[in-house]
Amino acid sequence: MTPTVCLRSVVPPYLLRAVADAAGFPRASSAARTALASLDVVQQPKHEHAVRPQTVSGTVDRSPQRTISDAHGTTTLPGDPVRHEGDPDSGDPAVDEAYTGLGDTHAFWLEVFDRVSIDGAGLPLDATVHYGQDYDNAYWDGSRMVFGDGDGEVFERFTIAVDVIGHELAHGVTQYTADLTYQGQSGALNESISDVFGSLVLQYARRQSAEQASWLIGEGLFTPRVQGVALRSMRAPGTAYDDPVLGKDPQPSTMAGYVETTDDNGGVHTNSGIPNHAFYLAATAIGGNAWDGAGAVWWNALTSESVTASIDFAGFAGVTVDAAATRFGTDSREHTAVQQAWRTVGVLG
């Protein structure tokens, strides 16, 4: 029997709870309660778990195969197809942003790592927009992307941020490679890897170097009424927002702030700040395009047989250090940067 998986959503439950309790945002409060309830839904994925990278034959179509559907404000999936691969702009911003974001993500994986779609074998990229009423989230359900329109008080529509699209599709990449268990430290690594590659998708699309990148996740999702710039910051975890109604970004940047909790599958969206910061430190120390340096190391680690589904921070850090040595050499700037990054965040001694 195929195991079940929980929805992989970009907005963490602790932030949705803060919005749900916000008296100053009545529309957002109602929308957040609905979004919270949806996180309890368990979906059946349409694949075998723990599928390692595949060898792609020359017959596989290497071009993207995108289909964008419209749920028309319902929660019925997939909705009505409204834009297929090669179709012109629809005039609906959510449809066209989703189409472009899926294309940017496909191009990143193909051109940087020669991976054809998220499964490595040309999987069609499907997405549904206008999901639910004022739905405050975007998620990967094991087979497709689903985007809410936001509530207009706290959140804008979720197709705005290319890194959010890259983040959610990276959950699919993890699903088809290491299949990291969504609990505790392996779950935080699962979330962090999605932030890492979501950020790299955006950087690649904009051709930004590590120094030029903002290292924010979900920049532009908050409306001007919120005192915050993004959902998370890889450069400075814990600083993405600080709002009198919604509270302060709770992410730690080092193991000194590691949060022991049973909430959110053991704090997967909170403690992901630690490996996120390690990646940022490594990428900026190496310099240049992050996908060529730290990104390549993280990709080699994610696809390594040494990464088990339940691996912890220290175990994953060790694999990245080995991957940096193998790819760039033990005397390389890359190897030194990766080692030092994990030491700075307190994962390696």
Check whether residue 59 and residue 105 sit in a common domain: yes
Detail the DSSP E strand segments found in the chain.
Answer: 5-6, 8-9, 42-43, 66-70, 80-84, 125-129, 138-140, 145-147, 216-217, 232-233, 242-243, 247-248
Check whether residue 119 and residue 248 sit in a common domain: no
Indicate whether 295 pLDDT > 70: yes
pLDDT given at position 59 = 75
> 101 with 162: CB under 8 angstroms?
yes
In a domain, 36, yes or no: yes
pLDDT one-digit tens code per residue, 105-162: 999 999 999 999 999 999 999 999 999 999 999 998 888 999 999 999 999 999 999 9
User: How far apart are alpha carbons 19 and 307 in whole angstroms?
Assistant: 36
Is 269 an active-site residue?
A: yes
Percent of the chain residues topping a pLDDT of 70: 93
Is 84 an active-site residue?
A: no
- The one catalytic residue among 97, 153, 168, 191: 168
In a domain, 142, yes or no: yes
Check whether residue 203 and residue 167 sit in a common domain: no
Query: For residue 257, what is the DSSP state?
Result: G
Instruction: Report the chain's mean pLDDT, rounded to a whole number.
Output: 92
In a domain, 324, yes or no: yes
- The one catalytic residue among 269, 277, 334, 335: 269
In a domain, 70, yes or no: yes
In a domain, 349, yes or no: no
Check whether residue 22 and residue 148 sit in a common domain: yes
Residue after which a domain boundary falls, among 176, 211, 226? 176
Check whether residue 33 and residue 172 sit in a common domain: yes
For the domain that residue 200 is a member of, what is the CATH number?
1.10.390.10
Query: What is the three-class DSSP state of 151?
Result: coil
Check whether residue 147 and residue 31 sit in a common domain: yes
Sequence-distant (≥ 6) Cβ neighbours of residue 206 within 8 angstroms: none
Check whether residue 200 and residue 339 sit in a common domain: yes
pLDDT one-digit tens code per residue, 215-246: 999 999 999 999 999 999 999 999 999 999 89
Residue after which a domain boundary falls, among 176, 203, 236? 176
pLDDT given at position 9 = 81
Check whether residue 199 and residue 310 sit in a common domain: yes
The predicted model scores a pTM of 0.92
Check whether residue 256 and residue 284 sit in a common domain: yes
Residue 7: pLDDT band with limits 50, 70, 90: low
User: How far apart are alpha carbons 264 and 101 in whole angstroms?
Assistant: 27
Indicate whether 266 pLDDT > 80: yes
Check whether residue 277 and residue 206 sit in a common domain: yes
Structure tokens, 222: 């908050």
Check whether residue 23 and residue 172 sit in a common domain: yes
Structure tokens, 294: 């730290």
User: How far apart are alpha carbons 337 and 285 in whole angstroms?
Assistant: 6
pLDDT one-digit tens code per residue, 43-94: 333 333 444 444 444 577 899 999 999 999 999 999 999 999 999 999 999 9
For the domain that residue 119 is a member of, what is the CATH number?
3.10.170.10
Residue span of the structural domain in which 281 resides: 184-344
Indicate whether 260 pLDDT > 70: yes
- Please compute, for residue 344, the number of CA atoms within 13 A of its CA located in the half-sphere on the CB side: 16
Check whether residue 33 and residue 102 sit in a common domain: yes
In a domain, 191, yes or no: yes
Residue after which a domain boundary falls, among 151, 176, 201? 176
The number of distinct structural domains making up the chain is 2
User: How far apart are alpha carbons 259 and 58 in whole angstroms?
Assistant: 47
